[in-house]
Amino acid sequence: MDATTLIRKFQEFFEKNYENQIVHAIKKGEKFVVVSFQKLSKFDPQLCDELLEVPSETIKAAELAIEHLELLGDTKEFKVRFSHLPDSQYVRIRNIRSEHINKLIIIKGLVRQKSDVRPQVTSARFECPSCGNIITVLQLDSTFKEPSRCGCGRKGKFRLISKELVDAQKLVLEESPEDLEGAEQAKRLDLFLKNDLVSPITEKRTNPGSKLLVSGILKEVPIPAKQGGRLTRFDLMVEANYVEPVEEDFLEIQISKEEEEEIKELASDPKVYERLTNSIAPSIFGLERVKEALVLQALGGVRKKTTGGSITRGDIHILLIGDPGAGKSQLLKRIGGVVPKARYVSGKGATGAGLTATVVKDEFIRGYALEAGALVLTNRGICCIDELDKMSQEDRSAMHEALEQQTVTIAKANIQATLRAETTVLAAANPKFGRFDPYEVIAKQIDLPTTLINRFDLIFPIKDLPDEEKDEAMADFILSLHQDTTIIKTDVHDELLKKYFSYARQYVRPQLSASAIEEIKRYYIKMRSSGSSEEGDIRSIPISARQLEALVRLAEASAKARLAPKVTKRDAKRAIELLHFCLSKIGLDPETGKFDIDRISTGVTASERSHISIIREIISNLEEKVGKIIPLEDIFVETSEKGINEDKVIEVIDRLKRAGDIYEPQRGFISRI
């Protein structure tokens, strides 16, 4: 179809369908109109074929047709954007080939990187100093071009009169994790945005981590060779025509009517918990409590936003600490397979920037670009972090904000941005010396910063101790699995499990009933009042407000498992049992036999704090009696009267030395700083 026919047909189409929209857009100061492909195909299917086959010329013809309508007035450069393209034009990033070049295609993915907005020259006008001739040069390449010669015979040294600029921006789009099968590596593609499509780095719709549906023309980009000239290989880039953010709820898993019936039937089963727990990781022997907690984590609590604007997270974070070979990594990998939108990262290969976000230098527009990490990309999903103890201290501290505030804030180069990271974290780590010491308190063997540990709702120690009966059952289980791989049958198949979790997260928001509140409150108050209160002793804190919120989240997740609208007393009891199980494994103070949350959250138990304050008091009393330099013998005499043994005293004195409260001027003597 020739250009004049194209323009005439588009003019007719706009007059019939889009005149009001164009006038409205001009009044609002917008320089574009969004045209529905369906309307165009009803009007003239031939126009649609032209649009898909030769998009550059067809879109230019549509823009010229609008200019001919004489609605624009002084408005220049009015753009036409095409939405709702047919599914036949959808191409996965990994399947893009040379046959797609200069065709209109649709691609879908996550924004991985986003650059600043920069102006770009589209055309420049030059004047010939000899004859006054005006020459216009279109700037299509990446380098600025000047005219080579004029009609009068002059070569070079032309004067630049004016140039036309447009706003330009680059995005890097990566395939969504749910479009990948197994361990496929996500492929990337550059997107080039111009004019009204550009947006600031902090714009929510196109933030790194958000999902986009983009229609655009695939272009080839020459790669410059190091020696000058160009390579025979070309890079690919999509020049976007229309960008549409995809609403991102716990994954857009399409659930059919039959599947919905199947999900509701499973929820009405009285043994739904057992069936879900048995299906979560059937190839791992034992660990029933851990599996139950993982089911609740996959379902999640309810995210609440108060009228005052404060947000309470609904995600349940779980930390597994265990001996090597206890099946932690296998559990993490399995969760990555059955929970929608999950990513698996491993400690040694994960950096703080790779987990949260980073600023990278952008070669294309010569500025800085924001790149999202794993926690941002799994927004509203689950991030499984293995080998947490192998990560460096700085990298681990990057996770603090993401775990509690559920955002990732970055301020580097000239970029300040806050990205959403409503991500559930399931982490696994080994104890301090690689394996648990059965004679040492578990909390002392967790070699992670207390600030990070505090943010996990449940912490499970997984011990691997010899036990004849258990070992025999485990050996039978593993060996029979090697003998016959079909022996394990899950109650709920993986596809249904994935859809069940997705359905519960999307549509179920259970509310706390009065009986559930009463049950949680009773447990909380009972635990708080169980702290020791002997004279002169510092009370241990058995449980804190963070654990109270964890109880609420676990109880809500328990109700979600039944797709119930109300959290009942039974749900509250299930949450209490799980939390109590974790506390009894980790939070027991061996000296007093009482629960003490400080053992986990600060690393110093109440009884230790009590000893520290007693010894400090003894040191200050002795200072008044014997002077600045105090013999250790005198301290031992005083503490033995108070019933503190010598080993404990030496441990406390070492701790005070490390804290910088006291020093040792000579062997066997101490002095206060």
Contact between 533 and 539 (Cβ < 8 Å)? yes
How far apart (Å, rounded) are the C-alpha atoms in residues 147 and 158?
Answer: 7
How far apart (Å, rounded) are the C-alpha atoms in residues 333 and 346?
Answer: 11
The 10 Å CB-count burial string (b at 16+, else e) for 123-149 is ebbbbbeeeeeebebebeeeeeeebee
Contacts of 631 (CB under 8 A, 6+ apart): 668, 669
Contact between 402 and 317 (Cβ < 8 Å)? no
Eight-state DSSP code of residue 149: B
Residue 496: phi, psi to the nearest 5? -70, -40
How far apart (Å, rounded) are the C-alpha atoms in residues 50 and 40?
Answer: 11
Contact between 112 and 207 (Cβ < 8 Å)? no
User: Would you state the pLDDT for residue 537?
Assistant: 45
The alpha-carbon radius of gyration of the chain (Å, integer) is: 33
If you search the block for the tokens 């599914």, which residue do you land on? Answer: 87
pLDDT tens profile 433-488: 777 777 666 667 777 777 777 788 888 888 777 778 878 888 888 888 787 777 66
Tokens linked to 179: 């479009």
CA 550 to chain CA centroid, Å, is 20
What the chain holds in terms of domains, given with CATH numbers, is 3-84 (3.30.1640.10), 104-245 (2.40.50.140), 257-589 (3.40.50.300), 606-672 (1.10.10.10)
Q: Give the global pTM.
A: 0.66
How far apart (Å, rounded) are the C-alpha atoms in residues 403 and 457?
Answer: 11
How far apart (Å, rounded) are the C-alpha atoms in residues 658 and 97?
Answer: 63
User: Would you state the pLDDT for residue 180?
Assistant: 66
Residues of the chain with pLDDT under 70: 1, 70-76, 140-142, 177-185, 201-205, 247-254, 347-353, 362-367, 413-414, 439-443, 487-488, 530-543, 587-609
Q: In DSSP terms, which residues pair with 566 in a beta bridge?
A: 511
SS3 letters for 96-113?
CCHHHCCCEEEEEEEEEE
Helical (H) or strand (E) element with 213: strand 211-224
If you search the block for the tokens 């009370």, which residue do you land on? Answer: 539
User: Would you state the pLDDT for residue 353?
Assistant: 65
Tokens linked to 427: 């982490």
User: Would you state the pLDDT for residue 249?
Assistant: 44
pLDDT tens profile 119-155: 877 778 888 887 878 888 777 666 777 877 787 777 7
User: Would you state the pLDDT for residue 540?
Assistant: 52
